[in-house]
Chain A
Amino acid sequence: MNKKIFAVFALLVVVGVVVGCAAPASPTAPPAAATQAPATKPPATAAPAATTAPTSAPVATSKPAAPGVVKIVYWRALSGAPGDAQEEIAKRFNASQKEVEVEVQYQGTYPELQRKLQAALAARVTPDVVMFDSPQMPYFAKNGALAPLDDFAKGADSVDLKNYIPGLLADGYFDGKLYALPFARSTPILYYNRDMFKEVGLPDRAPETWDEFADFCKKLTKKEGAETKRVGYAVQMGTTTAHWYFQELLYAYGNDVSDDKFKVLIDQPEGVAAAKFLQDLITQGIAIPGTGPDGAQGEFTNQRSGLHFGSTGSLVNIVTTSKFKVGVGFMPAAKRRQVPIGGSVLSVMAASPKEKQAAAWKFIKYMTNTESNVYFVQKTGYMPISTTAVNSQEMKDFMAKNPEFKVAVDQLQFVRPQASIISVPEGTEIFRQLVEKLTVGKVDPATAMKEAAAALTKAYNETFK
Chain B
Amino acid sequence: MGSQIRLPNQSWVPGLNILRLTHSRRERLTFLALIAPNFILFGIFTFWPLIYNFYLSFTKWNMIAPTPTLIGLDNYATMIADPIFWKVLGNTLYLATGSIAIRLVLALALALVLNQKLAGRDIYRAIIFSPTFTTGAAVALVWTWILHKDLGLLRLPLNLLGIVSPNWLTDINWTIPALIIVTVWRGLGYDMVIFLAGLQGIPAELYEAARVDGAGRWSLFRHITLPMLSPITFFLIVTSIIGALQVFDLVAVMTGGGPMNSSKVYVYYVYENAFKFFKVGYAAALSMVLFLITLAITIFQTRLSRRWVHY
Contacts and interface: CB of A to CB of B under 8 A. Distances in A.
Contacts of B242: 18, 21-22
A35 interface: yes
Given A32-B252, A292-B151, A293-B144, A463 B62 contact: yes
A143 B136 CA distance: 35
Given A28-B249, A441-B259, 16 more contacts: A12-B47, A21-B242, A28-B137, A32-B253, A33-B271, A36-B256, A115-B275, A140-B64, A144-B65, A239-B257, A432-B258, A433-B259, A433-B261, A459-B277, A463-B277, A463-B279
Given A18-B242, A436-B259, A440-B260, A32 B291 contact: no
Contact of A118 (B64, B145, B259): B64
Interface stretch (B8-16, B104-112, B167-175, B221-229): B167-175
Nearest to B25: A2
A436 B65 CA distance: 33
B260 A20 contact: no
A124 B242 CA distance: 34
A293 B46 CA distance: 35
B277 A425 contact: yes
Given A35-B137, A122-B63, A18 B294 contact: yes
26 contacts: A2-B28, A13-B35, A18-B242, A19-B50, A22-B246, A28-B249, A29-B252, A32-B136, A32-B140, A122-B63, A124-B66, A139-B62, A143-B64, A144-B64, A237-B170, A237-B258, A239-B258, A289-B259, A291-B144, A291-B169, A292-B145, A292-B151, A425-B277, A429-B276, A432-B256, A433-B259
Top 8 nearest A-B pairs (CB, nearest first) are: A25-B246, A436-B259, A33-B252, A32-B252, A32-B249, A143-B64, A239-B256, A122-B63
B30 to A, nearest CB: 13
Which of B249, B257, B298 has the most A CB atoms < 10 Å from its CB? B249
B125 interface: no
Contacts of B248: 25, 28-29, 32
Interface string A379-390: 000000000000
Contact of A291 (B148, B246, B276): B148
A463 B275 CA distance: 13
A385 B98 CA distance: 52
B86 interface: no
Interface string A99-131: 000000000000100110011011010000000
A139 B278 contact: yes
B243 interface: yes
Nearest to A462: B279
Given A291-B170, A433-B261, A22 B291 contact: yes
A322 interface: no
The secondary-structure label for the interface of chain B is helix
Interface string B222-244: 00000000000000000100110
A51 interface: yes
A201 B7 CA distance: 104
Contacts of B145: 292-293
A19 B291 contact: yes
Contact of B46 (A19, A122, A436, A440): A19
B112 to A, nearest CB: 27
A9 interface: yes
The secondary-structure label for the interface of chain A is helix
A300 to B, nearest CB: 13
B278 A6 contact: no
A53 interface: no
A289 B170 contact: yes
Interface residues of B, number: 59
Nearest to B167: A291
Nearest to B242: A21
Nearest to B259: A436
A84 B291 CA distance: 43
Given A436-B260, A437-B260, A463-B278, A121 B137 contact: no
Contact of A440 (B259, B275, B276): B259
A29 B276 CA distance: 13
A454 interface: no
A35 B252 contact: yes
B135 interface: yes
A84 to B, nearest CB: 24
A51 to B, nearest CB: 6
A340 B160 CA distance: 47
Given A28-B249, A111-B275, A115-B275, A15 B151 contact: no
B28 A6 contact: yes
